[in-house]
Amino acid sequence: MEKKTLIDDYEPGPVPSPRPVDRFGFVKLDVGNNIPEAVVKDRSVFERERDERRLRKWRKMIGVNGSDWKHYVRRKPNVVKSRIRKGIPDCLRGLVWQLISGSRDLLLMNPGVYEQLVIYETSAAEMDIIRDISRTFPTHVFFQQRHGPGQRSLYNVLKAYSVYDREVGYVQGMGFVAGLLLLYMSEEDAFWLLVALLKGAVHAPMEGLYLVGLPLVQQYLSQLEQLVKEHLPKLGEHFAQEMINPSMYASQWFITVFSYSFPFHLALRIWDVFLFEGVKIVFKVGLALLKFRHDELIKLPFEKLVHALRNFPEDALDPDTLLPMAYSIKVTKRLEELTEEYEKKNGKTVQSTKLNENQSPAS
């Protein structure tokens, strides 16, 4: 399956004046540097050839419509892991995300369920969802048009989820996750992927994240704080001195898995890995960002520091430098220990929290 065509149910209406957009469909800001030109620049011949080689390998690996995927993952988990870390080819991304997460199986096992949820059920969260629709990726062409196809699918997916999982309902931030998915797959596919993320098919990398009290977010923030102290002691010390709490900058890292305010091409690469390896990539990328800016950050006083932590410069956000750095930071074992400690102190955060992927074989 290729990228969804965005105009299948397009209704003529007030069309926003055409503004230049980047390759992902975000309106280019004339001042902002959300989409660094350097990264969008024409690919060299070398890069093009490399991408074509990769694409061939990927097609072979997943088979026709994903038929070989499970087999391949079982046989060669480490090959899969390392290919994912290099980035899933954009034209296969939607399909591969569904394969990794197991959402494909959920879809097949539940025919008609999505339609039922969208058409017949009502949700207590409807007003909350509507209020956020135009505030989700407001600079993306697909979501910009009021009541356009993008906004409608976003609403449908979120409403359907809030009915399907009444305990979670709707939480601000989910829209960015659903929005990101909708740029790569149909409404129904996006819905089941959301279910896979939060409820689990292969593993549930976001399970418990949006529960009342946001207990898992709190746990992650406290673990991040500890990891900063251990990996970047000088910075940890400086944070303590300046009374920086991780909730001042990292809540959205965990709640939206970097899809809220990071350059889209970087967010996609993080999502590739997140789906396969789970939340530890969020810690790794976070630590890599801090490490990259370490020498500047330790000099900044409180306010400038918070600002810097929410606005990383272009060079820190290049996936090809940031991600290798993130992969080299080892957190898995320590995270497990910290989870145990945290749960001893605060009680079990979420019943079946899988910090680590269990079935997916990444080490």
Give the separation between CA 134 and CA 14, rounded to whole angstroms: 15
Among 98, 123, 136, 356, binds other proteins (CB under 8 A): 136
> Interface with other proteins by CB under 8 A: which range of 181-189, 264-272, 285-293, 303-311?
303-311
Give the separation between CA 27 and CA 140, rounded to whole angstroms: 6
* Residues near 37 by beta carbon (within 8 Å), at least 6 away in sequence: none
**Per rule CB under 8 A, is residue 245 in the interface with other proteins?**
yes
**Per rule CB under 8 A, is residue 257 in the interface with other proteins?**
no
Q: Is 345 helix (H, G, I), strand (E, B) or coil?
A: helix
Binding residues for other proteins, rule CB under 8 A, total 39
Give the separation between CA 22 and CA 139, rounded to whole angstroms: 11
- In order, the DSSP letters of 95-126 are HHHHHHHTHHHHHHHSTTHHHHHHHH---TTH
**Per rule CB under 8 A, is residue 222 in the interface with other proteins?**
yes
Among 260, 262, 283, 292, binds other proteins (CB under 8 A): 260
Q: Among residues 12 and 213, whose Cβ is nearest to other proteins?
A: 213
Q: Among residues 92 and 267, whose Cβ is nearest to other proteins?
A: 267
Among 38, 112, 303, 345, binds other proteins (CB under 8 A): 303
330 torsion bin: left (phi>0), alpha (psi -120 to 50), beta (else): beta
**Per rule CB under 8 A, is residue 166 in the interface with other proteins?**
no
What minimum distance in Å lies between the beta carbon of 125 and other proteins? 10
Amino acid identity of 248? Answer: M
Give the separation between CA 129 and CA 169, rounded to whole angstroms: 10
Q: Among residues 174 and 335, whose Cβ is nearest to other proteins?
A: 174
The torsion angles phi and psi of 347, rounded to 5 degrees, stand at 85, 165
CA distances from 245 to 27, 164, 305 (A): 33, 34, 11
**Per rule CB under 8 A, is residue 276 in the interface with other proteins?**
no
Among 135, 146, 147, 234, binds other proteins (CB under 8 A): 135
What minimum distance in Å lies between the beta carbon of 101 and other proteins? 23
- In order, the DSSP letters of 170-223 are --TTHHHHHHHHHTTS-HHHHHHHHHHHHH-SS--TTTTTTSTT-HHHHHHHHH
CA 161 to chain centre: 17
What minimum distance in Å lies between the beta carbon of 170 and other proteins? 9
What minimum distance in Å lies between the beta carbon of 191 and other proteins? 20
What minimum distance in Å lies between the beta carbon of 138 and other proteins? 4
Q: Among residues 197 and 217, whose Cβ is nearest to other proteins?
A: 217
Contact criterion met (CB below 8 Å) for 154 and 143: yes
> Interface with other proteins by CB under 8 A: which range of 33-41, 228-236, 238-246, 313-321?
238-246
What minimum distance in Å lies between the beta carbon of 350 and other proteins? 14
Residues 185-214 that bind other proteins (CB under 8 A): 210, 212-214
Q: Among residues 45 and 212, whose Cβ is nearest to other proteins?
A: 212
Sequence-ordered alpha helix ranges (H) in 17-76: 37-40, 45-62, 69-75
What minimum distance in Å lies between the beta carbon of 325 and other proteins? 25
What minimum distance in Å lies between the beta carbon of 179 and other proteins? 11
What residues line the site for other proteins (CB under 8 A)?
Answer: 128, 131-132, 135-139, 171-173, 175, 210, 212-215, 217-218, 221-222, 240, 242-245, 247-248, 251-252, 255-256, 260-261, 301-303, 306, 310
